[in-house]
Amino acid sequence: MSSKLLSRVQCKQLRSKIIEPSGLLPSFQGHQAIGWSGFTGVDYPLQSLEPLIHEVRSNSSYAKPVFDLRVCSSGGTATESTLAELGMVSSRSPYQVSKAINKGINNKRIQFHDHSLIDFAEQLTSGHLGAKNGKPQSLSIAIVEATEITEEGELVPGASVGVTPELIQVAEKVIVEINTNSPSLRGIHDLYVPALPPSRSPLNLCTSSDRIGKSTIPLDPKKVIGIVEGFHGNFPNRTESGTSITKAISQHIIEFFKHEARRGRLPDNLHPIQSGIGAIANSVVEGLGNSSFRNLQVWTEVLQDSFLRLLESGTVQYASSMSLRFSPQELENFYKHWEFYKNHIILRPQAITNSPEIIRRLGCISLNTPVEVDLYGHVNSTCVMGSRMLNGIGGSGDFMRNAKLSIMHTPSVRPSKIDPVGISTIVPKVTHVDHTEHDIDIVVTEQGLADLRGLSPRERGREIIEKCAHPVYRPILMNYFTLAESACLKAKMGHEPILLDKAFKMHTSFLERGSMKISSW
């Protein structure tokens, strides 16, 4: 028994549960719903499933189990992919980034439940999730990451909180995996699980540094079927660097913030920022660092590198997140300056980070990247060409619907195989709607920023084409818009003009010829 692991399991009673991962093999049998922690962060449990994968791979007559995977969001993508390739995944909730899982979703082998993260958390505890034909499915096993088990037998989670508390609460059996190559994160968490209605109380949290829960998760020892050691390294992430496009987008956004602050519609320290993952998000955060805004608050789901530097410089006062996602260098920096960061960062479960109650109370500024946006501000975040699932809605719906300022940022075009500007992200009508016109305030591309607040659909159409569309697509879109406007006004149905038989013509052109550029409508 590794002394490293023993030092992390303070509770003597639970030390008897320490086992080799191979000891878990008999627990995986038949068709099971499995909860699994991991949220795009730097760490997640991996060893627990390795012996099973090895058996299934090496022994073709092994009675392989089939899983309904309920992952906080996205966890061990490599392991997930392997499970999918071995045909061991029947369904998956609520968000995924693994290639083989994605393939299975789009070729019908895997049923995907694309849930908003707040709803996923609530459905887990209410027993609605996986109810099929009125029969709710219980969660057989939860595999959760921990960085320590306290003397009282409570669990200190790792860098990805997600729905770990809920998984532990509802699962019949619990496997705890402690990666001894990562230090304990004791003290950084604030863990609170809202009660179910009708017994739910207000979340008494008014700023990103407020604490309303405990720093550990209660664990019923009777449920624990194994504590295993993880000894893989971390999984730090590459930080996507900015381009002239992402920098232009960032500049438009910072200019807009300055403009709003000058007019007194935003305080000088803005409102708490929620920002997604990727190059645009990084450029915006960097832009904030170079601006005169100070004492910012962050209320987000995933904390990336760029925020660490802003915390150090004091540009950001406090950051609340659900998980940490750092590059190797910044991860080292984070562990090195643990005492500083522990006092400037709180990690929370997604039932809190994504709570409409809190997002609306704090008045968050929310920034996300869509697949495509249409003339009236409807947004597709999940289904390419209306049918191919990318990753899922994740937390974007929770934030876009409730933020004080909902901002969609995207390059105006993307390359296709045959055309460097073959795909316009501004389209006549999105092929799938994840966020409606009612929820989007600002659309911004490298071309410019469209402020949709207070505009009717026809006004929005013109604003988005003029400010956001790529010059190649501007005349194409304006042509469609004027045709649609004239036809619908003639028919006395001109509130939000559409040509039902032509609305997807740019998309079908792309599918047929590889480019959305069309010469006529």
Q: Which of the residues are catalytic?
A: 301
66: contact with a copy of itself by CB under 8 A: no
Contact in structure between 192 and 213 (CB atoms under 8 Å): yes
**Site residues for a copy of itself, window 208-247 (CB under 8 A)?**
none
Binding region for a copy of itself (CB under 8 A) out of 149-157, 242-250, 395-403, 469-477: 395-403
Rounded-to-10 torsion of CA 161, 165, 171, 174: 70
C-beta closer to a copy of itself: residue 26 or 198: 198
In eight-state DSSP terms, residue 88 is -
CA atoms within 13 A on the CB side of 154: 12
1: contact with a copy of itself by CB under 8 A: no
Binding region for a copy of itself (CB under 8 A) out of 44-52, 176-184, 266-274, 277-285: 266-274
Strand 323-325 relative to strand 141-146, pairing: unpaired
Binding region for a copy of itself (CB under 8 A) out of 19-27, 174-182, 318-326, 387-395: 387-395
115: contact with a copy of itself by CB under 8 A: yes
Min. distance of Cβ 185 from a copy of itself in angstroms? 28
26: contact with a copy of itself by CB under 8 A: no
Min. distance of Cβ 8 from a copy of itself in angstroms? 36
Strand 155-156 relative to strand 148-149, pairing: antiparallel
Min. distance of Cβ 222 from a copy of itself in angstroms? 22
**Site residues for a copy of itself, window 83-112 (CB under 8 A)?**
91, 103, 105-108, 111-112
C-beta closer to a copy of itself: residue 68 or 330: 68
In eight-state DSSP terms, residue 160 is B
C-beta closer to a copy of itself: residue 242 or 457: 457
Using CB atoms within 10 Å of the CB of residue 316, give its burial: 0 to 12 exposed, 13 to 18 middle, 19+ buried.
buried
318: contact with a copy of itself by CB under 8 A: no
Using CB atoms within 10 Å of the CB of residue 387, give its burial: 0 to 12 exposed, 13 to 18 middle, 19+ buried.
exposed
Min. distance of Cβ 218 from a copy of itself in angstroms? 23
Torsion-angle region of residue 241: left (phi > 0), alpha (psi -120 to 50) or beta?
Answer: beta
List the end-to-end C-alpha distance of the chain, in Å, as a whole number: 71
The number of beta carbons lying within 10 Å of the beta carbon of residue 197 is 8
Please list, in sequence order, all residues whose beta carbon lies within 8 angstroms of the beta carbon of residue 330, skipping any fewer than 6 positions away.
236, 239, 305, 308
Min. distance of Cβ 332 from a copy of itself in angstroms? 34
Binding region for a copy of itself (CB under 8 A) out of 5-13, 320-328, 336-344, 428-436: 428-436
Min. distance of Cβ 358 from a copy of itself in angstroms? 9
* Residue 368, H or E segment: strand 365-368
Min. distance of Cβ 462 from a copy of itself in angstroms? 12
Residue of 215, 477, 497, 515 that binds a copy of itself (CB under 8 A): 497
Binding region for a copy of itself (CB under 8 A) out of 182-190, 240-248, 259-267, 418-426: 259-267
Radius of gyration of the chain, Cα coordinates, nearest whole angstrom:
24
Min. distance of Cβ 511 from a copy of itself in angstroms? 7
61: contact with a copy of itself by CB under 8 A: no
Beta bridge partners of 131: none
514: contact with a copy of itself by CB under 8 A: no
Residues in the chain, overall count: 521
**DSSP per residue, 338-351:** HHHHHTTEEE--HH
Residue of 23, 87, 136, 471 that binds a copy of itself (CB under 8 A): 136
Min. distance of Cβ 205 from a copy of itself in angstroms? 8
What is the C-alpha separation between 343 and 264, in angstroms, rounded? 31
252: contact with a copy of itself by CB under 8 A: no
Residue of 261, 384, 483, 518 that binds a copy of itself (CB under 8 A): 384
**Site residues for a copy of itself, window 430-469 (CB under 8 A)?**
431-439, 441, 451, 453-456, 458-459
What is the C-alpha separation between 256 and 31, in angstroms, rounded? 52
Binding region for a copy of itself (CB under 8 A) out of 177-185, 217-225, 234-242, 361-369: 361-369
Residue of 356, 391, 514, 518 that binds a copy of itself (CB under 8 A): 356
* Spatial CA neighbour of 226 closest among 176, 169, 170: 176
Q: Tell me, by CB under 8 A, how many residues bind a copy of itself.
A: 100
57: contact with a copy of itself by CB under 8 A: no
What's the angle, vertex CA 175, arms to CA 148 and CA 17, rounded to 5? Answer: 75
C-beta closer to a copy of itself: residue 292 or 436: 436
Quick one: tokens of 230? 């993880």
Contact in structure between 40 and 73 (CB atoms under 8 Å): yes
**Site residues for a copy of itself, window 192-211 (CB under 8 A)?**
196-198, 200-207
